[in-house]
Amino acid sequence: MALNMPYIITSNSAPDAQINIGLIGCGGRGTGAALDAVHAATNSIYPSYGYHTENAVEGAKAAKENVKIVAMADIFQDRLNSSREQFEKVGMNVDKDKCFVGFDAYKKLLNIPEINYVILATPPHFRPVHLRASIEAGKNVFVEKPVGVDTNGVKSVLESGELAEQKGLAIGAGTQRRRDNSFQEVVKRIHDGEIGELRSGVCRWLIGELWYLDPKPEWTEMETQLRNWMYYNWLSGDIFVEQFIHSIDLMNWVCQSTPIKAIGLGGRQVRTGSTFGNAFDHYSVQYEYPNDITIFCLDRQINGCTNYIDDVFIGAKGRGHFSYQHTGISLLDGNPWRFRGEKNNPYQTEHDELIHSIRIGDPINEAKQVAESTMTAILGREACYSGKEITWETVMNTDQDFTLEKYEFGDLDFAPVPLPGKYSFG
């Protein structure tokens, strides 16, 4: 099955099998993913580009017949309640006796026999454990990216992918750029040699600061960190792993490989207070890929700066451009090409395809793809943390584990901010 081209799902192309969703992680991303899975794709995530084509809309509607959310799980009651209210607004009611709260809530959800489609959208730290438990319970899974925060977690995901293959289960990943029809077309043109031999690339994710929740007096330190999970590397993997993985997955897709090694620098220049945990606020990483391809990466979350979210890959005859404003090809001899078709909604399409693959008995398994992209991000993070050049072989053979001894509300320490030259990877 070709995974880099979208399905056009029609009522004649897939069995009318019931899809019963269990949502683990009821924050904004989990709620959005669940809604994507149950709604027909009548609106684009990029309104300026219009809607799906008529055929794609009808296909998405067909895919969503007999799809419902039957259970929810989250560490926090208020997050679950907010998500449940969003579902109720669109006529999707979840029984209270199938709503579970706490660190072990996922186990209770997975014990429900009729669930056959689990969405994993907790902070990335928990995804390897939740994925393994889901596959062992015989569930198909949609897992958000990144799929881990440390090397042992990523290797666990690779093992879960193999187990899913043996059991005939699907694993879809939230690397939605691979479902963006404009990105697909540019990648195809690059792979077909339109820009010539690939030589280098520049990927930028330069934005301002994101959300932060002021701790409440009744919160324990564990709760504070969980609610502000983005700023703690044991929970998010740091911003380079949690956010820049979008560009990293594109890099691996374009280069059709994982990198050989990485070197970089980074730190925290503006977000220096202890309230921001131990995460960096900027990164710069240089990756070396096979065939002498060098990719330069810039990642930043600092206010008041020039912002860019774009990726450019440079070949001997031209360039491939990727952004949400412009995707296309520019050539040294002129004749540029720009995608001007109707944009699809990749967040919707990733569920369309996954559900379709389950229904026709040919399950998608993207565990290896998303695990390798996550490990590529960890490679870059660790190169910046340590200030040293690190190889792919090293990162694959290092047993790094951010697992806690126990998971309960109370006091909790976290690792100090990594200092290049003093921090040691491993």
d(CA 266, CA 341) in angstroms, rounded, equals 38
188 with 248, same domain?
yes
Lowest-confidence segment of 31-40, 62-71, 311-320, 359-368 by average pLDDT: 62-71
pLDDT band at 295 (very low <50, low <70, confident <90, very high): very high
Supply the pLDDT for residue 266: 97
User: pTM here?
Assistant: 0.91
Q: Is the pLDDT of residue 55 over 80?
A: no
354 with 272, same domain?
no
Q: Is the pLDDT of residue 16 over 90?
A: no
pLDDT band at 299 (very low <50, low <70, confident <90, very high): very high
Residue 186 in any domain: the answer is yes
Residue 299 in any domain: the answer is yes
d(CA 343, CA 363) in angstroms, rounded, equals 25
> What backbone phi and psi angles, to 5 degrees, belong to 390?
-130, 140
Average pLDDT, rounded, for the chain:
90
77 with 99, same domain?
yes
DSSP string, 353-402: HHHHHHHTT---B-HHHHHHHHHHHHHHHHHHHH-S-EEHHHHHT-----
Residues 141-145 have a mean pLDDT of: 98
Distance of CA 288 to the CA centre of its chain: 23
Q: Is the pLDDT of residue 379 over 70?
A: yes
Supply the pLDDT for residue 98: 98
Q: Which 3 state secondary structure label does DSSP give 304?
A: coil
> Do the beta carbons of residue 168 and residue 270 sit within 8 Å?
no
Q: Which position has the token pair 């009744």?
A: 218
147 with 247, same domain?
no
Which of the pair, 310 or 275, is modelled with greater confidence? Answer: 310
Span 228-251, pLDDT tens digits: 999 999 999 999 999 999 999 999
User: Residue 80 burial by CB count (10 A; 0-12/13-18/19+): exposed, middle or buried?
Assistant: buried
338 with 349, same domain?
no
Residue 419 in any domain: the answer is no
Residue 417 in any domain: the answer is no
| CB neighbour list of residue 421: distance below 8 Å, 6 or more residues apart | 386, 387
Q: Is the pLDDT of residue 64 over 60?
A: no
Q: Using the 8-state DSSP alphabet, how is residue 269 labeled?
A: S
> What backbone phi and psi angles, to 5 degrees, belong to 12?
-95, -5
Supply the pLDDT for residue 15: 61
> Do the beta carbons of residue 22 and residue 112 sit within 8 Å?
yes
Residues 403-421 have a mean pLDDT of: 94
Span 82-94, pLDDT tens digits: 999 999 988 889 9
Residue 79 in any domain: the answer is yes
What is the percent of the chain with per-residue pLDDT over 90, rounded to a whole number?
A: 82
332 with 358, same domain?
no
Supply the pLDDT for residue 426: 78
Residue 27 in any domain: the answer is yes
328 with 186, same domain?
yes
Residues 133-143 have a mean pLDDT of: 98
> Do the beta carbons of residue 107 and residue 9 sit within 8 Å?
no
Pairing of strands 308-315, 318-322: antiparallel
pLDDT band at 6 (very low <50, low <70, confident <90, very high): very low
Q: How many domains does the chain have?
A: 2
> Which tokens belong to 110?
């997975």
Supply the pLDDT for residue 17: 84
Supply the pLDDT for residue 51: 29
Q: Is the pLDDT of residue 272 over 80?
A: yes
Supply the pLDDT for residue 7: 28
Supply the pLDDT for residue 69: 94
> From the CB of residue 287, how many other CB atoms can be counted at a distance below 10 Å?
27
User: Using alpha carbons only, what angle is made at residue 76 by residues 75 and 82, rounded to the nearest 5 degrees?
Assistant: 130
Supply the pLDDT for residue 40: 40
* 36, 116, 132, 303, 366 from 157: Cα distances, Å: 24, 19, 7, 35, 10
Supply the pLDDT for residue 274: 87
32 with 171, same domain?
yes
Residues 23-40 have a mean pLDDT of: 89
The CATH number that applies at residue 197 is 3.30.360.10
Supply the pLDDT for residue 395: 98
> Do the beta carbons of residue 254 and residue 177 sit within 8 Å?
no
54 with 152, same domain?
yes
pLDDT band at 57 (very low <50, low <70, confident <90, very high): very low
38 with 170, same domain?
yes
Supply the pLDDT for residue 324: 82
Residue 91 in any domain: the answer is yes
d(CA 362, CA 355) in angstroms, rounded, equals 10
Span 155-208, pLDDT tens digits: 999 999 999 999 999 999 999 999 999 999 999 999 999 999 999 999 999 999
d(CA 158, CA 330) in angstroms, rounded, equals 37
96 with 191, same domain?
no
Supply the pLDDT for residue 65: 59
Domain residues for the domain of 223 are 182-342+374-396
Supply the pLDDT for residue 54: 41
Q: Give Dmax over CA atoms of the chain in angstroms.
A: 65
Supply the pLDDT for residue 3: 34
The CATH number that applies at residue 83 is 3.40.50.720
Residue 7 in any domain: the answer is no
99 with 65, same domain?
yes
